[in-house]
């Protein structure tokens, strides 16, 4: 399951209670062992909880619930933002759009357009908009999260779309990010989530060359029995959604319907 932020502790707690009683919630270590060793099988109904981007409310609202329920999870961090008050680049776009009176739809369109540009074009546009602030997670807090069964994985240094980056840009993202993991003495860099889920043929080679061993997609699919370590599927979820919606998503039914719909309309 792929979460992002955790805006509401009570709703998230209801998700965890449900998932805990209906699935076997596993850790990254268990998944890795089963992927690297043919003899180790995952239990039926295995489920891994992940969080992308490193929102601070995962630490404030999510982690206490996970600790109370003795549950392991994984958070994928964007190293550039750790120990800063720099806002995520898409949140900069959102805040500035709101100031200009743009609708949520217009803001979403701007962000989607930025995701489709080359990395250089995206950076050039972002450099022109005023930066906004956000209290981000600190490296000290990452160590606390790690001690409490939250695996710290990597999500690049700047959250570019890898399919719009040159090979050198991808290498640089990984190298800078890894050096910060090393500096903070956090092991975990080798487990990676593609920003926006954008994996291409060339990214596998570059990632493998740069110490990545497991890589997660954002494809809203349930994994088949033979999971590929560089393309692990995830179901998209949202910590603010009612429990009734979560039940449908966790079951894989929503994934099945939405992917069938995509095939019907020829989008994939
Ligand atoms: Zn992300």
Average pLDDT over residues 23-37: 93
Q: Domains in the chain, ordered, with CATH? A: 2-86+136-264 (3.20.20.370), 88-133 (no CATH)
pLDDT score of 252 more than 80: no
Q: Residue 249: its pLDDT value, please? A: 81
Which run of H or of E encompasses 46? strand 46-47
- Give the confidence band of 263 by pLDDT, cuts at 50, 70, 90: very low
54-59 LR contacts (CB < 8 Å, sep 24+): 54/78, 54/81, 54/82, 54/136, 54/137, 54/155, 55/4, 55/5, 55/6, 56/134, 56/135, 56/136, 56/137, 57/5, 57/6, 57/7, 58/3, 58/5, 58/6, 59/137, 59/141, 59/145
- Give the confidence band of 262 by pLDDT, cuts at 50, 70, 90: very low
Cα(40) to centroid of ligand 1, in Å? Answer: 30
Q: What is the pLDDT of residues 37-69, one digit of tens each?
A: 888 888 888 999 999 999 999 999 999 999 999
Q: Which two tokens stand for residue 43?
A: 């239990």
Cα(242) to centroid of ligand 1, in Å? Answer: 22
Cα(38) to centroid of ligand 1, in Å? Answer: 30
* Contact between residue 268 and residue 262 where contact means Cβ atoms under 8 Å apart: yes
CB atoms within 10 A of CB 111: 15
Q: Residue 255: its pLDDT value, please? A: 65
pLDDT score of 189 more than 90: yes
Cα(51) to centroid of ligand 1, in Å? Answer: 9
Cα(32) to centroid of ligand 1, in Å? Answer: 21
Q: What is the pLDDT of residues 206-223, one digit of tens each?
A: 999 999 999 999 988 888
Q: Residue 95: its pLDDT value, please? A: 97
Q: What is the pLDDT of residues 107-154, one digit of tens each?
A: 999 999 999 999 999 999 999 999 999 999 999 999 999 999 999 999
Cα(100) to centroid of ligand 1, in Å? Answer: 25
Distance CA 197, CA 162 (A): 9
Q: Residue 265: its pLDDT value, please? A: 39
Q: Which two tokens stand for residue 236?
A: 């998209």
């Amino acid at each position: 399951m792929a979460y992002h932020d955790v805006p509401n502790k009570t709703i998230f707690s209801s998700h965890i209670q449900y998932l805990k009683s209906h699935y076997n919630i596993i850790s990254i270590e268990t998944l890795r062992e089963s992927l690297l060793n043919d003899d180790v099988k995952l239990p039926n109904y295995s489920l891994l909880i992940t969080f992308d981007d490193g929102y601070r409310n995962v630490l404030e609202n999510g982690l206490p619930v996970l600790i109370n329920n003795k549950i392991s999870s994984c958070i994928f961090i964007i190293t550039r933002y750790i120990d800063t008050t720099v806002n995520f680049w898409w949140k900069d776009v959102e805040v500035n759009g709101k100031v200009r009176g743009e609708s949520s739809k217009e803001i979403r369109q701007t962000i989607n357009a930025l995701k489709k540009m080359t990395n250089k074009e995206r950076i050039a546009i972002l450099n022109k908009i005023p930066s906004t602030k956000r209290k981000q997670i600190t490296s000290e807090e990452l160590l606390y999260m790690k001690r409490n069964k939250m695996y710290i994985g990597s999500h690049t240094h700047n959250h570019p779309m890898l399919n719009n980056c040159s090979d050198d840009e991808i290498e640089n993202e990984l190298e800078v990010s890894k050096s910060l993991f090393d500096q903070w003495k956090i092991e975990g860099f080798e487990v990676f989530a593609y920003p926006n889920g954008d994996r291409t043929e060339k990214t596998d080679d570059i990632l493998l060359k740069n110490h990545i061993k497991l890589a997660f997609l954002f494809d809203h699919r349930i994994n088949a029995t033979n999971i590929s370590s560089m393309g692990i599927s995830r179901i998209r979820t949202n910590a603010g959604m009612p429990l009734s919606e979560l039940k449908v998503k966790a079951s894989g039914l929503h994934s099945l319907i939405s992917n069938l719909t995509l095939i019907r309309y020829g989008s994939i």
